[in-house]
Structure 1
Amino acid sequence: MHKVTDLKVLYFGTPVVLIGSRNEDGSANLAPMSSAWWLGQSCVLGLGNSSQTSQNLRHEGECVLNLPSSVLVDAVDRLALLTANPHITEYRQRQGYRHERRKFAAAGLTEQASELVRAPRVAECPVQLECRLEAAVPLAGNPGCTAFEVTVVRAHVEESLIVPGTDHYVDPLGWDPLIMKFCEFFGEGQRLSPSRLAEGWRMPGRLPARV
């Protein structure tokens, strides 16, 4: 029997993306998100307008979508409640966000230069997609968010993930993406840990909180 319910979040399971971008002063920014979907060489990103990444996308018109594997869960979670925007909204303050400009250092990740865009790649991520912005459309049901459409202009994939004998097919068995489901991290179908977001969003969860 189905139950009518007003779900608080609709994160049924999507890959985590670390979006690399450039701040207005040229420094590197890195932000985790999981509201992304792909079709062909296009990708749509759902981002809050108050985020530094949203501002950078509008200003620079480019980014890098770095896809972490499940082994990077701790590095990703260290970024969960950080923002490069010094003007933190009251809502985000209640969630526990704090200002941090040095995102790569905070996560313990390595900045890597891109080839076609200025935005940074994450050396530890096995999949890195250099992208250019095509359109930015406000969400009709949520004026505080924007859907950014980007086009992948260059893909970098760890060689061990390429299907032998091909140049452009990823081995689905070798690729173990970090997945976000209802503010908890999953890898290879197993629960890894709750995200720091779970506490800020007051998610009940099924895993013990981090120590």
Structure 2
Amino acid sequence: MAVPHDSTRDSSHIDITPGMLYYGNTVTLLSTLNADGSTNLAPMSSTWALGNTIVLGMGLGSQTAQNLAERNEAVLNLPGPELWRQVESLGDMTGVRHARRQHGHGSIAVSDKFAAVGLTPEKAESVHCMMVAEAGLQLELHIVSCRPDVQNSFVIAQAQVLHVHADPRIVLPGTSHVDPRRWKPLIYNFRHYHTLTAQVGESGITETPTVQEC
């Protein structure tokens, strides 16, 4: 049951209406397969993970959405903060022949986005689209479902993780644990680029071994 709005509530907060709720999301570069076998590369910040399931959100009418619906594979490339300029440049590019503006960006039709922004394509293990060699983490995905959101404005896709590839510099030696002291993802914080600062605490359920600093 809905709770009635109380205009007399006593609070130090104010009501706002943000243009978009990017409240500190991890930036990703999503590789998808075009009909001609080439790879489309697009920046995204609407993703989240639950176990080995990844949920993706993207605009209707994009080349990425079309590729996911027609070909059930992708690679989720997670860049570090040093790649923010490449990510921003990709936001102005599209693989759709009839380009249009979306999310406040211009849309420049580009066939080879890797070359356009200076990123290196790398072959994947189980999918045909190319990975971003410079990304600290690369997740090969099998797309399980694609459907519109409740407002019919976006595509929501669910994907199963097939393989995870990591830069060895961010992995604790001898384990499959990403070292959170060394892995600093690029964060999209209300349309500004950030990254993580020093650790302030540790969860009681962490499985990452504690490593003493030298």
Counterpart residue identity of residue 72, structure 2: G
Whose helix fraction is larger, Structure 1's or Structure 2's?
1
Q: C-alpha deviations, 1:74-121, integer Å up to 9, x for none? A: 2212111111001224x5397422211111011100110101011110
What is the correspondence of 1:104-123 to structure 2 with a 5 Å cutoff?
104-123=114-133
Letter in 1 for 2:67: N
Equivalenced residue count is 187
CA distance in 2, matches of 1:101, 1:73: 21
CA–CA separation in structure 2 for the residues paired with 1:115 and 1:80:
27
C-alpha distance 2-18 of structure 1, shift in aligned 2 (>3 A): same
Runs of 4+ deviating beyond 6 Å: none
State the match for 1:135 in structure 2. Answer: 145
Q: CA RMSD in A?
A: 1.6
Provide the rounded CA distance (Å) in 2 between the counterparts of 1:5 and 1:52: 33
Gaps of 5+ in 2: 1-11, 199-214
Which of 140, 148, 154 is matched with 1:145 structurally? 154
**Which residue identity is paired with 1:71?**
E
Superposed counterparts of 1:1-211, under 5 Å: 1-89=12-100, 91-92=101-102, 95-140=105-150, 142-166=151-175, 168-189=176-197
Most deviating of 70-79 and 59-68: 70-79
Distance in 2 between residues matched to 1:39 and 1:92, nearest whole Å: 28
Mapped partners of 2:105, 2:118: distance in 1: 23
Gaps of 5+ in 1: 191-211
After alignment, is 38-47 or 80-89 more displaced?
80-89
TM-score calculated relative to the size of structure 1: 0.84
Partner AA of 1:19 in structure 2 = L
Deviation at 1:157, TM superposition (A): 0.4
Structure with more of its chain in strand, by fraction:
1
* Counterpart residue type for residue 42 of structure 1: T
- The structure number with the bigger radius of gyration is 2
Task: Give the TM-score normalised by structure 2.
Answer: 0.83
Aligned AA (1:147): I
Could you tell me how far apart the structure 2 residues matched to 1:68 and 1:125 are? 4
